[in-house]
Amino acid sequence: MKRTLKYIKSALGPCMLSFLSACGSGSSTPLNPPSIQTSLLAYGIPVSFYVGVTQLNQGVTFNATMCGALSPAQSPSPLYQAYSCTPTGTGTLTFTAKDANGNVLLTKNFTIPDPQVTMVSSLGTVVLDLNPNAAPNTVQNFLKYVNGGFYKNMIFHRVIPGFVVQSGGFTTGMNPVTSSLAPIALETPNGLSNTMGTLAMARTSDPNSATSQFYVNLVDNSSSLDYKDSSNPGYAVFGTVSSGMDVINQIATVPTATVGSYANVPVNDVTITSMTRTQ
């Protein structure tokens, strides 16, 4: 940081962004590119980029992949210009500066990690990694429920060994909870499959009816739950269990019974005590 600030003061000063020649006279040595720093990068959360320049040549513009439109933002220092956007995907984000003719002056890569949710249950903790690149609307929907605290005190209301465990719709006593968001469109096929340990959305016979209920595959259910054709559109996978599959498998062993019109209901509640976004 000290080296960067020293460079800005001594080399940039009142000079403008340039990668071809030094500012002022008496030197033809190209300037080093300015530093580019960023706040914490996370999917779906506004991020700021700080470019180590005090002013720019006319026509110089910045853009960032997977980040929508960059907007000028307030900088914490007069030695930096700040820009902000909201990442719309995960993986490598490339920040680029171009001149008025479209020539690339500078690029720098940053990494946006997959969003992660930690689910604490009465039988243990499970970490879920979400895939917004494959299922953006489904991930956004799920995160809205998570961030709103919707899943607290939900039970796993459907447990079928050798198939799935399901939650997101009922509290103790099989009391249904009304979903707070509108149903979402089915995102299949999306390149993800209902294999063991994957996270997917439950729905009714209407393909576009998923709201808050989700399930975890206990085995490879791709042959029965994946997209086949428009008449058999399958169920949308949008993440995986990255830690705590042993907890999921433990849930799968609890005794179940029929409660009213609902089959495969655990005799003793397995409750979600909290669901929090942790990445």
Domain ranges for the chain: 2-112, 116-277
- What token pair was written down for 254? 């609890």
Confidence band, pLDDT 50/70/90 cuts, at residue 186: very high
Q: How far is CA 16 from the centre of its chain?
A: 36
Assigned CATH topology for domain 116-277:
Cyclophilin (2.40.100)
Confidence band, pLDDT 50/70/90 cuts, at residue 169: very high
**Residue 161 above 70 pLDDT?**
yes
pLDDT at 20: 27
pLDDT at 2: 36
User: What homologous superfamily is domain 2-112 in, according to CATH?
Assistant: Immunoglobulins (2.60.40.10)
Whole-angstrom distance, CA of residue 137 vs CA of residue 169 = 19
Q: What is the pLDDT of residues 196-254, one digit of tens each?
A: 999 999 999 999 999 999 999 999 999 999 999 999 999 999 999 999 999 999 999 99
Confidence band, pLDDT 50/70/90 cuts, at residue 39: confident
Q: What is the pLDDT of residues 7-23, one digit of tens each?
A: 333 333 333 344 322 23
**Residue 81 above 70 pLDDT?**
yes
Confidence band, pLDDT 50/70/90 cuts, at residue 32: low
Local structure of residue 54 (DSSP, 8 states)? S
Q: What is the pLDDT of residues 110-124, one digit of tens each?
A: 999 999 999 999 999
Confidence band, pLDDT 50/70/90 cuts, at residue 180: confident
pLDDT at 269: 98
More confident residue, 16 or 268: 268
Burial 19-54 (b: 16+ CB within 10 A, else e): eeeeeeeeeeeebebbbbebeebbbbeebbbbbbbb
Whole-angstrom distance, CA of residue 61 vs CA of residue 144 = 33
State the SS3 of 181-238: CCCECCCCCCCCCCCCCEEEECCCCCCCCECCCEEEECCCCHHHHCCCECCECCCCEE
Sorted by sequence, the CB contacts under 8 Å of residue 277 that are 6+ apart come out as 115, 116, 117, 118, 143, 146, 147
Percent of the chain with pLDDT over 90: 80
Confidence band, pLDDT 50/70/90 cuts, at residue 159: very high
